Amino acid sequence: MPELPDVEVFKRYLDRTALHATVREVTVHTPKVLHGVSAATLRQRVPGHELAWSRRHGKLLFVGLDHGPEALVLHFGMTGFLKYYASDEDAPDHPRVEFRLDDGHILAFDCQRMFGEVDLADDVEGYLQARAIGPDALSLDEDGFVDRLQGRRGAIKTTLMKQGVMAGIGNVYSDEILFHAHLHPDTDVAFLDESELRKLHRRMRHVLERAIEAKADPGEVPRTWLLPHRRQGATCPRCGAVLERKKIGQRHAWLCPSHQSKK
């Protein structure tokens, strides 16, 4: 479930491993994960270039080729992650695309369920625009956040998860943010006044930043969070009420019914 915090962790992993290495060879084991680019194009355009810079936007990770605008695009779907390794015995279970590097290591894009995507972008801004991806959730200041949400309607959970509204929040962290904001996930955005939206923005920032600090690891986030307790029969770490699971906008939300009351 790679959402913004997970992808930020992947970025930092890349930055301290494969970044600045030069690609020697690209091997596409599963063409299905390629979106918008062919294996032939990857093999033709990537080798010989340095993985020179990285940029995360929402759930997307861009890896720049040399110091130009062209970049690999990695989207991790539900089960994707990166692995950098030198020896075959350290290879992950489902390497879909492998980048053999000049430092003797391999950078693999692993994705068990193949919902992830690998692409090649001419430049970041154009790519985001073409895919109608909104601003990164962590790049929004309070005013920007209010601007993006005001005038909309529909469940707040669904709205936070729309990548065109803002990028990076998925099923798990939308629940976490709303848990911290004491808002029921089915609350209509139109019912939230400006001060409530500002408060929600502060909760969102706090949750995303703290999750990154915890390496997006459910075992590392505070036990007072919802995240480690999303399972049948679990109780709210704040008040002891039995947690509820509810379908909202075709997704399952977890919430505490006692302090996330519906507005």
Radius of gyration, alpha carbons of the chain: 20
**Minimum CB–partner distance for residue 166 and DNA (Å):** 11
- Contact region for DNA (CB under 7 A) — 46-54, 136-144, 197-205, 243-251? 243-251
Task: Give the nearest distance from C-beta 239 to DNA in angstroms.
Answer: 22
114 near DNA (CB under 7 A)? yes
Do 51 and 64 meet the contact criterion of CB atoms below 8 Å apart? Answer: yes
Query: Nearer Cβ to DNA, position 36 or 47?
Result: 36
199 lines the binding site for DNA (CB under 7 A) = no
Applying CB under 7 A, does 55 fall inside the site for DNA?
Answer: no
Q: In whole angstroms, how far apart are CA 232 and each of 173, 178, 223? A: 18, 19, 17
Strands 60-65, 95-101: pairing is unpaired
Contact 107, 98 (CB under 8 A): yes
3-state DSSP assignment of residue 75: strand
Q: Which of 32, 202, 262, 263 binds DNA (CB under 7 A)?
A: 32
Please name the residues in contact with 115: beta carbons below 8 A apart, sequence gap of 6 or more.
77, 78, 79, 80
For residue 7, give both structure tokens. 């992808």
Residue 122 is given by DSSP the state S
Q: Which of 11, 56, 59, 83 is catalytic?
A: 59
DSSP string, 134-184: --BGGG--HHHHHHHHTT--SBHHHHHH-TTTSBS--HHHHHHHHHHTT--
- Member of 47, 228, 249, 257 binding DNA (CB under 7 A): 249
Q: State the nearest-atom distance from the C-beta of 11 to DNA, in Å.
A: 15
- 131 in contact with DNA (CB under 7 A): yes
- At its nearest, how many Å lie between DNA and the CB of residue 248? 8
User: What is d(CA 16, CA 235) in angstroms, rounded to the nearest whole number?
Assistant: 39
Among 210, 244, 251, 257, the one annotated catalytic: 251
Cβ atoms of residues 207 and 177 within 8 Å: yes
3 a catalytic residue? yes
Smallest gap from Cβ 149 to DNA, in A, equals 9
Q: Site map for DNA, 211-230, x if CB under 7 A?
A: -------------------x
Q: Is 251 a catalytic residue?
A: yes
User: Per-residue string for binding with DNA, 147-166, x by CB under 7 A?
Assistant: -----xxxx--xx-x-x---
The verdict on 3 binding DNA (CB under 7 A) reads yes
Considering beta carbons, is residue 80 or 101 the nearer one to DNA?
Answer: 80
CA–CA–CA angle 125, 69, 47 (5° rounding): 130
Residue 59 interacts with DNA (CB under 7 A)?
Answer: yes
Residues annotated as catalytic are 2-3, 59, 251
